Amino acid sequence: MSDLSFLNEIPDPTAGAAAPTPSARPPVAPRPTEPSPTRSAIGRRRAAALGVSLAWLATHLLVYGVRADFHQLPAEYVAAQVALPFAFGAASLLVAVAPGRLGLGLGIGVIASLALLGPLSFWLFAAALPRPYDAVSPNGFWLGSLVCLDITLAWAAAPLLLAALALRRAFPASAGWRSALVGAALGLLSGAAINLHCPNVDPAHLLAGHGVPVVVAALVGAFVVARWARA
């Protein structure tokens, strides 16, 4: 059979069927964005965090007590160990949250310098100031240092958590250094508080038990708080 023209008379079963169309993907809902808080809400949140942090430190000082050897301490010793860390910490906190002219914070040079100088100055004063009197810790060096280290870290922990919540998405630029400065500031405030409580005047104890938590707080600020504060 050479004539196959009769095949043209067989109807095509697919004739008239619509061409398959690719399945349409369901529309993707836009990712909800967190609304930016108002300036007044930010101010209230930061003021509340600062107030609770100060109350936290004051309450612990009332519970643990203030050192009873002030009559044996020179005025410059008290100024370097207590007043200066409090002042430096408060100033550093103000610099860290300052918006600057464009809302991007102050210059990175100022912020980084303060973040490094705060803990460094605390260590230098602890190491360089001579003992105001000779005294031996009843708990020994390691136990006494570990107790003060634990206390100071606990005193800094709650303010650091509150700072992370209060400064959420607050730093559009230099978030790492600004958060490190916040951590250093809170570490200095906690370090000044432990100096106000602990009567141990051994420089090695001051470095290990009081100074290490200041550095730890700055590092927590740089690597943990910054994750929350970065805008």
Q: pLDDT, tens digit, for every residue of 12-40?
A: 655 555 555 555 566 665 555 556 566 77
The structural domain count of the chain equals 1
* Burial of 171 (C-beta count, 10 Å sphere; 0-12/13-18/19+): buried
As a whole number, mean pLDDT of residues 210-231 equals 94
User: What are phi and psi for residue 171, nearest 5 degrees?
Assistant: -115, 100
- pLDDT given for residue 64 in this prediction: 92
Q: Is residue 61 part of a domain?
A: yes
| 20 within a domain of the structure (yes/no) | no
For the stretch 134-143, contacts whose Cβ atoms lie closer than 8 Å and that sit 24 or more positions apart, written own/partner, are 135/199, 135/200, 135/201, 135/202, 137/200, 137/202, 137/205, 141/202, 141/204, 141/205, 141/208
pLDDT of res. 134: 84
Tell me: pLDDT of 56 over 90.
yes
| Domain span at 204 | 41-229
pLDDT computed for residue 26 by the predictor: 62
Measuring CA to CA, how many Å separate 2 from each of 7, 8, 9, 11, 12? 12, 14, 16, 21, 22
Q: Is residue 67 part of a domain?
A: yes
The reported pLDDT for the residue numbered 37 is 61
Sign of the torsion formed by the C-alpha atoms of 71, 77, 79 and 85 = negative
- Looking at residue 135, its pLDDT comes to 73
Asked if residue 36 is part of any domain, the answer here is: no
Q: Considering the entire predicted model, what is its pTM?
A: 0.81
* Spatial separation of the C-alpha atoms in residues 156 and 147, rounded to whole Å: 14
Whether residue 220 is contained in a domain is answered as yes
Output the pLDDT for position 42. Answer: 76
| Residue 15 is assigned to a structural domain of this protein | no
Q: Where are the alpha helices (DSSP H) in the chain?
A: 39-64, 75-78, 84-97, 108-128, 141-166, 175-197, 203-205, 212-220, 226-229
Instruction: Answer whether residue 101 is part of any domain.
Output: yes
The more confident residue out of 106 and 7 is 106
d(CA 42, CA 98): 13
- Is 147 among the domain residues? yes
